[in-house]
């Protein structure tokens, strides 16, 4: 799994050190990662062979010629870059991906389980605040639902 958040530097040659714990055979990212502009946010989406297989399966489950399948093929397959690690565990990001995500010298790498995202530090800070708010609201809602279920169970006994 890809876990935790790391601040890393993007050097002048567009190389980015991927955390060692992200480069494992377990997640299919031992030798390389695939990377493309994220569909859900203004960042880059990346992962190993296992994540790529999930996307391919999802795409193939949709009817050939459907708008959803075409959009996913375009975004995931057509925009994808397979990036191999150098001897130091770095990938070299294409200039097009850097521009797409608005990356500067300092980037944030965020592990999200089966995938990770690469963010500009500024965009990450805004997204982090937004996600924290949504998580707090969701946790409060979940707590209220559990309490209601407990009360219903206790009242029905």
Of all residues in the chain, what percent carry a pLDDT higher than 70? 99
Average pLDDT, the chain: 94
* pTM of the shown model: 0.88
- Give the residue among 22, 132, 127 at the shortest CA–CA distance from 85: 22
pLDDT grade for 148, boundaries at 50, 70 and 90: confident
How much is the average pLDDT of 36-54?
Answer: 95
| Domain residue limits at 109 | 5-120
Long-range contacts of 2-6 (CB under 8 A, 24+ apart): 2/27, 2/47, 2/111, 2/112, 2/113, 2/114, 2/115, 2/116, 3/111, 3/113, 4/111, 5/108, 5/109, 5/110, 5/111, 6/108, 6/109
Residue 68 belongs to a domain: yes
**Tell me: the pLDDT tens digits for 59-103?**
999 999 999 999 999 999 999 999 999 999 999 999 999 999 999
- Could you tell me if residue 27 is inside a domain? yes
Residue 116 lies in a domain: yes
Rounded mean pLDDT of 131-151?
A: 89
Domains held by the chain: number: 1
Q: Is residue 155 part of a domain?
A: no
Domain-embedded: residue 16: yes
| Domain-embedded: residue 14 | yes
User: Is residue 132 included in any domain, yes or no?
Assistant: no
Which of the four pLDDT bands, split at 50, 70 and 90, describes residue 150?
confident
Q: Residue 19 sits in a domain of what CATH number?
A: 3.40.1550.20
Q: Is residue 152 part of a domain?
A: no
């Amino acid at each position: 799994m890809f876990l935790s958040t790391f601040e890393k530097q993007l050097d002048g040659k567009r190389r980015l050190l991927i955390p060692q714990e992200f480069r494992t055979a377990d997640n299919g990212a031992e030798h390389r990662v695939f990377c493309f502009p994220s569909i859900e946010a203004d960042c880059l989406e990346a992962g190993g062979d296992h994540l790529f297989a999930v996307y391919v399966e999802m795409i193939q489950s949709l009817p050939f010629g459907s708008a959803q399948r075409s959009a996913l093929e375009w975004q995931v397959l057509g925009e994808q870059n397979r990036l191999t690690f150098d001897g130091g565990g770095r990938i070299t990001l294409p200039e097009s991906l850097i521009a797409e995500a608005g990356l500067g010298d300092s980037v944030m790498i965020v592990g999200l389980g089966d995938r990770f995202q690469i963010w500009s530090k500024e965009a990450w800070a805004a997204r982090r605040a937004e996600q924290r708010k949504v998580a707090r609201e969701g946790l409060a809602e979940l707590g209220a639902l559990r309490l209601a279920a407990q009360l219903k169970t206790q009242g029905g006994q």
